[in-house]
């Protein structure tokens, strides 16, 4: 949190059929519906999240990610970061408070990778779902499905990883926690964090800009990953791969698809990072093991199923 960027705060995902999507994100994934707006967007969150929402679903003709937003420490940080983004060469757009319900003004910019990101400092805090902030129980009763605890990160495919790293590291204060490096020294994957988490956002080198690989949600245990796998099967949800472990970050994971074809991940564990840690490096010829630690080979879908 060197520059006041605290964490991934929200992601807006395009879905083809909102009711089908809600069945997926609420009944299966276990996010909680918090609000809807006049545009028809639906606001969701994981139960441990203090802010009002972290996932926004928008019905559209094409799946994919509209934008990902990071919450900042305070408005002054956002002001400073806006200047720094302009100085870096980004165009910055301001969205007024309440354009997302309960969220203060946001500034939006496009990263060199081709993805839209946002920064904001204010969002209504409704508290953890189902728990009081006074003498809180260990967990709330009434959670559904996979019981995702929080929106954790996105993995994005796009262009110009070097310049994107400069932006996130030098302007936004992220650290490079892990990377995959080709034999010629080119970085082909970069995992970035603003805090102790192994990644708050990650990029994979890809010829098209602005593609969406997955949005990821955190679970507490490997047992929870198994329950997720069971529920994915029981609901005839399209599985990508898992349960397994990643080499990168060492998280324990399962990938699956929402009805629109957007990939979701639920995972637990994963290494922690501090700013004085050297990045972990994987060699591109170990990419199979880096991505899927047990299978040690990529499935074709991992590289090609993007939205």
Contact with its own copies (CB under 8 A) among 1, 143, 303, 305: 1
The closest of 178, 210, 172 to 192, measured between CA atoms, is 178
Total residues at interface with its own copies (CB under 8 A): 59
91 or 134, CB closer to its own copies? 134
Tokens standing for residue 58: 């928008």
For position 80 contacting its own copies by CB under 8 A, the verdict is: no
Query: Which one is catalytic: 206, 213, 246, 273?
Result: 246
Chain positions 285 to 304 lying near its own copies, rule: CB under 8 A, are 286, 289-290, 293-296
For position 274 contacting its own copies by CB under 8 A, the verdict is: yes
The closest of 13, 115, 15, 11 to 61, measured between CA atoms, is 15
Query: Which one is catalytic: 157, 178, 255, 273?
Result: 255
- d(C-alpha 118, C-alpha 105), whole Å: 10
Report helix, strand or coil for 42: strand
158 or 243, CB closer to its own copies? 243
Tokens standing for residue 111: 């990263």
The closest of 269, 255, 262 to 199, measured between CA atoms, is 269
SS (H, E, C) 47-102: CCCCECCCEEEEECCCCEEEEEEEEECCHHHHHHHHHHHHHHCCCEEEECCCCCCC
Is 120 tagged catalytic?
A: no
Query: Which one is catalytic: 153, 206, 213, 273?
Result: 153
For position 219 contacting its own copies by CB under 8 A, the verdict is: no
Is 273 tagged catalytic?
A: no
For position 63 contacting its own copies by CB under 8 A, the verdict is: no
Backbone angles phi, psi at 231, to 5 degrees: -70, -35
Query: Which one is catalytic: 10, 199, 206, 273?
Result: 199
* x/- track of binding to its own copies for residues 226-245 (CB under 8 A): x--xx-xxx----x--xxxx
18 or 226, CB closer to its own copies? 226
Tokens standing for residue 301: 């879908």
Q: For 273-307, give one letter per residue: b (16+ CB within 10 A) or e.
A: beeeeeebebebeebebbbbbeeeeeeeebeebbb
Chain positions 127 to 186 lying near its own copies, rule: CB under 8 A, are 127, 133-139, 141
Instruction: Name the site residues for its own copies (rule: CB under 8 A).
Output: 1-2, 6-7, 48, 50, 71, 73, 125, 127, 133-139, 141, 195-197, 220-223, 226, 229-230, 232-234, 239, 242-245, 247, 250, 252, 254, 269, 271-272, 274-278, 280-283, 286, 289-290, 293-296
């Amino acid at each position: 949190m060197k520059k006041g960027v605290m964490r991934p705060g929200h992601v807006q995902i395009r879905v083809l059929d909102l009711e089908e999507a809600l069945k997926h994100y609420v009944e299966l994934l276990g996010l909680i519906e918090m609000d809807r707006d006049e545009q028809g967007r639906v606001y969701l969150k994981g139960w441990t999240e203090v802010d009002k929402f972290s996932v926004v679903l928008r019905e559209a003709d094409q799946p994919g990610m509209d934008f990902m937003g990071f919450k900042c420490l305070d408005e002054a940080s956002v002001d400073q970061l806006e200047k720094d983004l302009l100085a870096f060469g980004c165009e910055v757009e301001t969205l007024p408070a309440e354009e997302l319900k309960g969220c203060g003004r946001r500034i939006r910019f496009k990263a060199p990778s081709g993805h839209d990101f946002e920064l904001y400092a204010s969002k209504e805090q409704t508290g953890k779902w189902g728990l009081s902030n006074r003498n809180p129980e260990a967990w709330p009763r009434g959670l559904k499905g996979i019981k995702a605890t929080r929106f954790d990160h996105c993995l994005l495919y796009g262009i110009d990883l070097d310049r994107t790293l400069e932006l996130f590291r030098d302007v936004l204060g992220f650290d490079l926690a892990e990377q995959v490096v080709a034999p010629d020294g080119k970085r082909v994957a970069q995992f970035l964090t603003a805090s102790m988490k192994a990644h708050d956002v990650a990029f994979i080198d890809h010829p098209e800009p602005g593609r969406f690989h997955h949005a990821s949600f955190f679970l507490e245990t490997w047992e929870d990953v198994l329950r997720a796998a069971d529920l994915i099967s029981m609901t005839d949800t399209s599985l990508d791969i898992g349960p397994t472990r990643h080499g990168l970050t060492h998280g324990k994971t399962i990938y699956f698809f929402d009805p629109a074809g957007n990939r979701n991940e639920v995972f637990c564990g994963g290494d922690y990072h501090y700013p004085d840690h050297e990045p972990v490096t994987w060699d591109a010829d170990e990419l199979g093991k880096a991505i899927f630690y047990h299978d040690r080979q990529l499935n074709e879908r991992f590289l090609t199923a993007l939205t």
